[in-house]
Amino acid sequence: MPKSGAIVMAAGKSTRMKSNKVKVLHEVCGRPMLAYVLDALRFADVEKITLVVGHDRERVMDMFGGQKDLHFVEQAEQKGTGHAVLMTEKTMQDVDGPLFVLAGDGPLIRADTLKTLLKHFSEKKSAMTLATSLLPDPMGYGRILRGEDGRLLRIVEDRDCDEAQRRIGEVNPSYYLFDSTILWRFLGKIKPNNAKGEYYLTDLVEILLSAGQAVEAITAVPPEDVLSINSRAELAKVSAVMQARIVDAVLASGVTITSPMNTWIEFGAEIGQDTVLEPFTFIGAGAVVKAGSRVPAGTVVARGERFGGI
């Protein structure tokens, strides 16, 4: 029986991205954005993962199928996050420990943040723990409402906020962790009492607190990591952040990049120590650059290709 699990939302359309391809398959630095979320969960030692699929589900299942820890559940009619989780109840009933619920369109997520969430959850023995972030511009995100004692009271979605609540800078980036047994006991109590008529998973905060269950919120998500993708502009911003992370890792491995701002390296490229990358080079995903190489300005090393020589 798996001791930990995760439910990942991957059913959304790409309406604002003007695309026929499901959002989570759009690439960030050479790989689908969903792959980064799955990596973070696996690095946090999560044993069983269920993807909630809907639009373009065949393509998602074709790309990610065949992975032993990965399961798929269809949300044919999208009625909100609470409804999506409910669709997975039968599949995830065998998880007897902590259960993450995450969005599939947040590729900047870090395993360290998930580990911090797990540690706090375990220490406090809470029914629900969520990770929050402090943003200078919180527009578009659900706001965290706390009491005078600092304890979490509830989460208010952006579209449902009044003027005072809109000024709150602490937001909900949708990192949830539940006691799986308690989640299934209370999930059915969510009602669609909101502007969109959807079943919000965030309503569980008030439901659990009113039932005397412990709910915790810790500020653990760096503002940079909160960026999710709903448009091509946001895809470009997230890709730029991810590219900076990749470049930093390559530099730390002993590679010289003469102009980081004018170099693009996709995820999974292998670049040997003492290599020099001159400006305007592109290194594709799965490419291998031999140690000690000098890659001339303007060179394209395509995905899966090998480059070697001094």
Instruction: Pick the closest to residue 95 from 8, 181, 215, 208 (CA basis).
Output: 181
pTM as predicted: 0.94
Structure tokens at 219: 């500020």
State how far the Cα of 176 lies from the Cα of 7, in Å rounded to an integer.
10
State how far the Cα of 3 lies from the Cα of 26, in Å rounded to an integer.
31
Structure tokens at 163: 């003027």
Helix, strand, coil in percent for the chain, rounding step 5: 35, 25, 40
Place of tokens 């579209």: 159
pLDDT of residue 121: 94
| Portion of the chain with pLDDT greater than 70, in percent | 98
Domains for the chain: give ranges and CATH numbers: 5-226 (3.90.550.10), 253-307 (no CATH)
pLDDT of residue 210: 96
Question: Which amino acid appears at position 73 of this protein?
Answer: V
Examine the pLDDT at 127 and tell me if it is beyond 60: yes
Examine the pLDDT at 288 and tell me if it is beyond 80: yes
Mean pLDDT of 278-293: 97
pLDDT of residue 1: 65
pLDDT of residue 13: 81
Instruction: Pick the closest to residue 6 from 63, 81, 85, 80 (CA basis).
Output: 85
Examine the pLDDT at 17 and tell me if it is beyond 80: yes
C-alpha distances out from residue 177 to 30, 105, 248, 250, 285, Å? 29, 18, 30, 33, 32
Examine the pLDDT at 310 and tell me if it is beyond 60: no
State how far the Cα of 70 lies from the Cα of 64, in Å rounded to an integer.
8
Each residue's pLDDT tens digit, 56-115: 899 999 999 989 999 999 998 888 899 999 999 999 999 999 999 999 999 999 999 999
Examine the pLDDT at 309 and tell me if it is beyond 70: no
Examine the pLDDT at 150 and tell me if it is beyond 80: yes
